Amino acid sequence: MLKRYRLSRPVPLTLVPKLKRPPATGLFIAFEGVEGAGKGTQISMAEAHLRSLGLDVLVTREPGGTVAGEQIRELLLDPATGKLDARAEALLFAASRAQTVASVIRPALAEGKVVICDRYVDSSLAYQGWARGLGEPDVLSLNVWATQGLFPDMVILLHLEPELGMARSEDEPRDRMEQEGQQFLAKVADAYLKIAEEHPERFVVVDANRDPAAVFDSVREALERAVHERDDHHPTS
């Protein structure tokens, strides 16, 4: 019989090994955080810094990153879409992710590039697994399948209390996720911290409630550590 997860009982996340990871010197970094945490600003600064080190950098985002992915993004985030079943929402995010991994991320890693992704699997674990109540095990299994087991070398979590993130925007909530409100985003923020606590080997938690330059000091330190670890594992001949 197929083993069924009992979602009523918390099951610690267990990540499978990186299946079919290209044997290249690429580096995969994901940025995570609630709305208003400043991911866009930090990713731009990270890209510029890594390029200044002479590295070949590719930046992509989720959902999106491909023609199909951008169409899925519009469907997922457009308030006109209305309420989606939580499973349908999780499947759409995974579909966009599968396309981006296959056509953008894996090829770039195989070429030895540094790939920076604005959101990745942990977004689905936090938003759909926790905040939507689907449970981590099922959402994780779905995304392991969608990505063929590809996980980032490092996840930089820009931690910000949701009320501060919402206060940073002077406009009304723009997309479906922002319109879910503070209680929903508080669940997301808590989920991120829980996942990071369970996986300190791949997470760096950065206090985002600071001046962007101060935040980037912490981000830069994490980036340079990841680059050095990559270089130690793949010394140049």
Residue 22 belongs to a domain: no
Residue 121 belongs to a domain: yes
- For the segment 159-165, the average pLDDT, to the nearest whole number, is 81
Q: Tell me how many domains the chain contains.
A: 1
Q: How far is the C-alpha of 63 from the C-alpha of 61, rounded, in Å?
A: 6
Give the domain CATH number at 212: 3.40.50.300
| Cis, bond preceding 63 (omega within 30 deg of 0) | yes
Residue 227 belongs to a domain: yes
Report pLDDT for 166.
Answer: 61
Domain span including residue 171: 27-231
Q: Please state at what angle helix 136-147 crosses helix 86-100, rounded to 10 degrees.
A: 30
∠ Cα 29 32 34 (to 5°)? 170
Summarize pLDDT for 108-158 with one digit per residue, the tens. 999 999 999 999 999 999 999 999 999 999 999 999 999 999 999 999 999
The length of the chain is: 237
What global pTM score does this model have?
0.86
- Report the relative pairing of strands 203-207 and 154-159 from DSSP bridges: parallel
Torsion angle (degrees, nearest 10) of CA 139, 153, 159, 13: 30
